[in-house]
Structure 1
Amino acid sequence: MLYSPKWSKAKKHLKSFVCDALRSRVDFQVINYRRAHDQLGRAVITVDKIEKLSMCTITAERAEYYKEWDIRRDLDDFDFDDVGKNISIQDEAHQQLKKEGIYGQYDFFFALEEYFNSSIENSLKSTDILIKILCLLDRRVGKRTLLKMKDSILTEHELVQEFYKLRCEAEKLNITT
């Protein structure tokens, strides 16, 4: 599944949302492996040319496979004939991995789609780590909103906290407690 519309157009749109303080420091890349059976690869968010989040399809699918086995072991259910149950277990594994910050390239595209089609207010309320990160980079999130998030950010995934800290430092906001 290659991203549609074209990644170059989506990247330009995404970069237009990045706040001025980080525009030259943050970049988004999509690397597709032509020899891969599905031609998917990974999506990367870099800060100062250093990878901060790599969303590799192969890594995510391998982790999902092992997570599914863990779920089956916990349930003591190894009946592979029940298609509904198989789909449910796979979905549960996928959701758990997303909460852990393990994403495939396709997750990045789905998050982008949701981010582009939602208001910034709704996106800020999202439980998806990727969408939260995109919000923290977004110019529509102002300094007052960032300061209001100071306490609630402590309950977020460490990646979200890292991007929050990056944004606050870039905006020269004092967030130390």
Structure 2
Amino acid sequence: MQWSKLKKHVKDRIAESLASRIEINQTRYRHSHDQEGEFWITFGKERIFSAGSLTYLSTLGQVVSDNRATGAPLAEAYKQAWPVLENKGVMLLEEINKDLFCSLSQTIEEMLEHRNPVIRGLAVVDARYGKRRLELFNPVGEHSLVQSLYRFRCEAEGVKPSVRSLV
């Protein structure tokens, strides 16, 4: 699916109270090898999340190098690096696009259980995500993107976050 169509479908799901303030964007570096690119989310005019292929590849190289410095063989160094990148929310642009496309047919529960923090964050600002669920949601331990989007949604909906959550 073309990025413009995917973006429209994703944007159409954002709650009305936030739809005009949240933007999702993507760019491709046409002159780079394999046309790598970047994905980012803004709230207002401020960038709150950014991920892309070049960032992923450079971070992967650094983590593998660090693992190799501790004596890990090359294959093991890569095997140890992938969970580190996933925990940091560093991912390839193609992976983000694939997950965004798949999220269009997922329920809120499936989106909240997804390994990708972009999908979990978009679940929290999804129009299908009700106020009662918002009041009960506990973002502690979640990726910073999910926590930020949760805070923005609570403010927009006039919902007081649960006692257990971040304020």
TM-score of the superposition, structure 2-length normalised?
Answer: 0.87
Q: How does 1:1-177 map to 2 (within 5 A)?
A: 5-74=1-70, 76-78=71-73, 80=74, 86=75, 89-90=77-78, 92-149=80-137, 152-175=138-161, 177=163
Matching residue of 1:83: none
Residues 1:118 and 1:89: Cα distance change in structure 2 (over 3 Å): farther
Q: Which runs of 4+ in 1 moved over 6 A?
A: none
Root-mean-square deviation (Å): 1.9
Give a deviation string over 1:38-88, Cα, whole Å, max 9, x none: 1121011111122111112111110011112233344x233x5xxxxx3x6
Q: How far 1:126 sits from its partner (Å)?
A: 2.2
Q: Secondary structure at the match of 1:140?
A: coil
**Amino acid of the residue matched to residue 72 of structure 2?**
D
Q: How far 1:22 sits from its partner (Å)?
A: 0.6
For residues 113 and 137 of structure 1, the distance between their equivalents in structure 2, rounded to whole angstroms, comes to: 17
Q: Secondary structure at the match of 1:106?
A: helix
Q: Secondary structure at the match of 2:35?
A: coil
Q: Secondary structure at the match of 2:155?
A: helix
Q: Is the 8 A contact 1:99 1:129 kept in 2?
A: no
**Identity across the alignment (%):** 30
How many pairs are equivalent? 163
